[in-house]
Amino acid sequence: MQILAIDVGNTRIKWGYYANANRLNRGNVANADFAQLDATWSSLAQPQKIIISNVADEHIAENVRQLLARWQSKPQWIEARDYQCGLRNSYTIPQQLGCDRWAALIAAWQLDRQASIVINLGTAITIDSLSADGVFIGGVIVPGLHLMVQALAGKTVKLATQPGAFSAFPVNTADGIRSGTLHAVCGAIERLVRIAARENEGKINCILSGGDAELIAPYLNVAHKIVEDLILQGLVKIAETED
């Protein structure tokens, strides 16, 4: 089965073209540069299924719809459910869970089928807890690194926002901002991993994905692994199990 999986995020559109669960092609563009996909997708064979996670606004969604009109396959725009692909959703209103988070959780469950903290490091950072028996327990949303820097730049006129380097205790403002944002993100991840580990007799899997995963991973003081394109993997699994 040929599947085109598309993850429309807050700032970028990521996509993968799969045949029988094997990725044949992939790419990503900034949301503002969506027109670049016209030429890229013209070289793809007709997908049997098109599946999309979208957390961007309706304008971006409409741009994607227009590009997909070249194919006969009707796109499936997912939303979170109370149960899907072996995973149960504990959100108070299941459909209000971000569809990108839901796809990532499904992928994480299919990969390991064990208690996990699933972290997507993008424009916003989500840190979600998955139980050993396939239940999404809940999770938090944290501003991403760039959003934190933007907030400082917008509200504190005298703080420098030029690139800095990481240090435990920086001695200049640029390094202070860089280090502070990394400490904040890593601290949130490590705290939630410890909580989840206590609740699972010390056995917890920590999965990182998203655009900033490679950047943040070296500073984490917990065992972890990076899984590329976790959301796309979840979308493919959903497409494979849906009629």
Least Cα distance to 234 among 31, 57, 53 occurs for 53
β-strand pairing of 116-121 with 225-226:
unpaired
* 211 within 8 A of 28, measured Cβ to Cβ: no
CA distance 7 to 4: 10
Structure tokens belonging to residue 12: 């970028």
Concerning whether 175 is annotated as a catalytic residue, the answer is no
Out of 7, 100, 128, 212, pick the active-site residue: 100
For 167, list phi and psi in degrees, rounded to 5.
-155, 150
Structure tokens belonging to residue 10: 């807050």
CA distance 134 to 105: 10
Q: Which residues are catalytic?
A: 100
